[in-house]
Amino acid sequence: KGFHCFVFKDEEAKSPKYAIELMNRKAVVQPSHASYVPRVPHPGVGKDATYTSVHLETSLGDVEYKFTFANEGGKGEMANRFSGAVTAASNNASTEQVRTRLGHGGLLNKRSSVRYANQIGKAKAKDQPEAPLTSGEVLAGMPTT
């Protein structure tokens, strides 16, 4: 919701851990691949699962974030849906920035939930980690069942 990608600690978390601003970012879907770490599949996915990564890049093409999704049914639908949502949010953020710069900020009719999401996103963007998490840190936080 809004112009940020909210990152939560887990599915039960009530508030986001931090937010990633999506303005001037683009999502690039990478080809499907096997797990980066052999024999450590995503929880709930079989050992033979394939994965699709989405790179969140700046307008200059620098990769800032990487998201990896398990392919359910082998199609990478979740990665494509995520990429579409990021693209839409990025385009909307850029459009609002241009309208505001041109003095048309009063013409923007945003829903209250989007305004609230943008407020939370701005506050939580400051909580991003200084350095990217390593794959070891990510795997350490995953359940081992």
pLDDT in tens, the chain (145 residues): 678 888 888 888 888 888 888 888 899 998 877 665 544 556 666 667 778 888 988 888 888 888 888 887 656 688 888 899 999 888 888 887 787 788 776 666 666 666 666 666 666 676 666 655 565 666 666 666 5
So what's the pLDDT on residue 135? Answer: 58
How many whole angstroms separate alpha carbon 5 and alpha carbon 8? 10
Radius of gyration from C-alpha coordinates of the chain: 17
So what's the pLDDT on residue 41? Answer: 55
Alpha helices in 57-130 (DSSP H): 77-101, 112-124
CA dihedral 23, 29, 30, 31 (to 10 degrees): 180
So what's the pLDDT on residue 38? Answer: 46
Q: Phi first, then psi: what are they for 55, rounded to 5°? A: -95, 130
So what's the pLDDT on residue 116? Answer: 63
How many whole angstroms separate alpha carbon 1 and alpha carbon 3? 7
User: How far, in Å, are 6, 83, 86 from residue 121 at the CA level?
Assistant: 7, 19, 14
Output the six-digit token pair for 54. Answer: 């989405």
- Per the confidence metrics, is the pTM higher than 0.85? no
